[in-house]
Amino acid sequence: MAENKTDKRLFGTDGIRGRANLDLTPELAFRVGCCVAGVLAAHSGRPRILIGRDTRCSGEMLEAALSAGVAAAGGEAELLGVVPTAAVALLTREWGADAGVVISASHNPMEDNGIKIFHRTGYKLPDEMEMELEEAIAGAVEVPRPHGREVGRIRQAGDALEWYLGYLRGLLSMELEGCRMVLDCANGAACGAAPQLFESYGAEVVTIFNEPDGYNINQGCGSTKPQRLQEVVRQGGADLGLAFDGDADRVIVVDERGDVLDGDVIMAACAERLQRRGELSGQALVATVMSNKGFHLAMRDMGITVHQSAVGDRYVLEEMLKRGLNLGGEQSGHIIFLDHSPTGDGLLTALHFLRAWKERGGSVSEIGGMVRRFPQVLLNVRVPGAFVLEGNRAVEEGVKGVEERLGEQGRVLIRLSGTEPLVRVMVEAPTEEEAEGLARELAAVIEAECAAGGIKEE
C-alpha cells in the first residue's frame, strides 16, 4: 500500500518545517507573523496571538521575527516562552486568543525548526484559512501595515506554564507515592514541565536529558531514541520510564524491564480503562495506518472498533471529529484525548497511562502484554524534494509483489513523510528477519527510482 497525502507549497501535515535560517528564515517568520495577524484581523479585528517555542537556539530568533511581524500588522503578540505544544493549543482556547503559534520542529534534529498555527478553538487552522494564509505569505494578498496607535504590541505572558500544569493536575486524581520513574525530557519543552507535574503527584522522579543548551534537543535522546532511558530504568530499578520528544506532544513508555511500550500499547491501556468506565465514545478509537496488526487484534478482542486515518495528528483529529470519538493517536506516542485537550499532549497521555496502570495493578510490563506485536520494520529512504511516489509504477509493482508473498501474514505501507524529505517503508511479517529483508528490498526499489529521476509514469 502506497500513500500520498497533501501537496501544499508551504504548509505540510504539521505546519511549516525547514532548516532554521536556511529554509525557515527570519524573513519568512516575519512574513508569517504579518500574514497571520493580517488574515485574522480580517475575521476578528485586532487579533491577539499567543507564541510558544521549544528550546532550539533558533527559536529565539524566529520568535523575535514572528512576533515583530504580528505587531507590524497590528496584532498583539503574547510570548509564552518555552512550553509544550499542547500548552499553546490549550491556552489559545482557554484564554480566548485568536490564534496560537508554536515554534518547534518536534522530534526533528536541532538544525530544523518549524511554525505550527492553532485556531482559536485550539485545533489546527481549517484548510480554507490555511490556504488563505498561504496565499497571503506568497504575496497574493496585500497585508495592511498600520501606523501610529494602530501598530501592535509584544508582551510576555509569565504564568503560561503554571496555568497549563494546574490544568493538567485538575484532570486526573491519583497518588503516585512510592512510584519511582525516570523522565527523558529530550532537552526540550518537557524539561520545566514534566518533573514538576509528576513530582506533584508524589512520584520519585529521576530526570535525564534535562539540561537544554539550545543545541542538544533530541540529540541521542527522547521518544525516538530511548536507549539510554532503557538502561537507566533497568539499572536503577525504576517502575517505569517516560520519554518525551522535543515539544512534548508525544511520549513513549519504558517498562521496569527496559522494554519499550509504544503508542499502540499506550492507546490500548487507555482505551481499556475508558471503556471499562463507560467513557470511550462510540466504543471506538482512531489509529493511523501505521498501527501494528497486533493492536487491531487486541482492540477487536476488547470489542473496540478501530477507525483508520492517514499518518499525522491532523488526520487523526479529522477522523475523530467526523465520528464523534474522544480517543485517537499514533504509534509514535502522539495521542489525543479530546475530552481534555484539542491536540496531542505527551504529559496528558502519560497521566492517562499512569492512571490505567494504577487501576490495573501489577507491573508496567504486564500492560505491554495487552498487545501481541507482529514484527515490524520501518526504514527511512532519503529522497529529493521533487520525488513522486504516487503513481510510480516500479514502486507499486514492488509493493504488490511483497504483499502477494506475505498474504494475510503481514502488510506493507509506503508513504512520503509530511515533515522530512523521506519515504517511509514499513513492513510487518511473521519474523523480524523476513520483515527486514522485505523492507530493504522495497527501499532498494525507491533508491533506484531516485537515481533514475523518480519520474511519474503516465
What angle do helix axes 346-360 and 190-200 make, rounded to 10 degrees? 30
CB burial of residue 379 (10 Å; 0-12, 13-18, 19+): middle
User: Which CATH superfamily includes the segment(s) 2-159?
Assistant: Alpha-D-Glucose-1,6-Bisphosphate, subunit A, domain 3 (3.40.120.10)
Residues of the chain with pLDDT under 70: 1-9, 13, 42-44, 140-141, 454-458
262-373 belongs to CATH 3.40.120.10: yes
* Domain residue ranges in the chain: 2-159, 178-259, 262-373, 376-451
- What DSSP state is assigned to residue 126? P
376-451 belongs to CATH 3.90.470.20: no
Q: Give the Cα separation of 292 and 64 in Å (integer).
A: 42
Report in angstroms the alpha-carbon separations of 442 from 135, 252, 422.
37, 28, 14
- What DSSP state is assigned to residue 328? E
Q: Give the Cα separation of 337 and 353 in Å (integer).
A: 12
* C-alpha cell recorded at residue 297: 487484534
**What is the pLDDT at residue 44?**
67
CB burial of residue 397 (10 Å; 0-12, 13-18, 19+): exposed
**What is the pLDDT at residue 10?**
81
Instruction: Please provide the distance, in angstroms rounded to a whole number, between the alpha carbons at the two ends of the chain.
Output: 19
> Residue 444: which residues within 8 A CB-CB, separation 6 or more?
none
Q: Cell 517502575 appears where? A: 239
* C-alpha cell recorded at residue 275: 471503556
Report in angstroms the alpha-carbon separations of 282 from 243, 275, 308, 342, 391.
30, 10, 15, 18, 36
Q: Give the Cα separation of 273 and 361 in Å (integer).
A: 12
Task: Identify the helix (H) or strand (E) that includes residue 242.
Answer: strand 240-244
Tell me, yes or no, if the two domains 2-159 and 178-259 fold the same way.
yes
Q: Give the Cα separation of 449 and 445 in Å (integer).
A: 6
Q: At 44, phi and psi to the nearest 5?
A: -140, 20
**What is the pLDDT at residue 4?**
43
Q: Are 286 and 307 in contact (CB under 8 A)?
A: yes
Q: Give the Cα separation of 76 and 240 in Å (integer).
A: 43
Kindly list the catalytic residues: 106
**What is the pLDDT at residue 1?**
54
**What is the pLDDT at residue 348?**
98
**What is the pLDDT at residue 80?**
98
Q: Give the Cα separation of 4 and 6 in Å (integer).
A: 7
Q: Give the Cα separation of 229 and 280 in Å (integer).
A: 32
For 345, the 3-state DSSP assignment is coil
DSSP assignment of 96-114 equals T-SEEEEE--TTS-TTEEE
Q: Are 370 and 265 in contact (CB under 8 A)?
A: yes
Q: Taken in order 76, 80, 85, 88, is the CA torsion positive or negative?
A: negative
**What is the pLDDT at residue 215?**
97
Q: Give the Cα separation of 380 and 415 in Å (integer).
A: 10
Q: What is the pTM of this model?
A: 0.86
For 59, the 3-state DSSP assignment is helix
**What is the pLDDT at residue 213?**
97
Q: Which of 290, 322, 318, 295 is nearest to 306 (CA)?
A: 295
Topology adopted by domain 178-259: Alpha-D-Glucose-1,6-Bisphosphate; Chain A, domain 3 (3.40.120)
**What is the pLDDT at residue 415?**
87
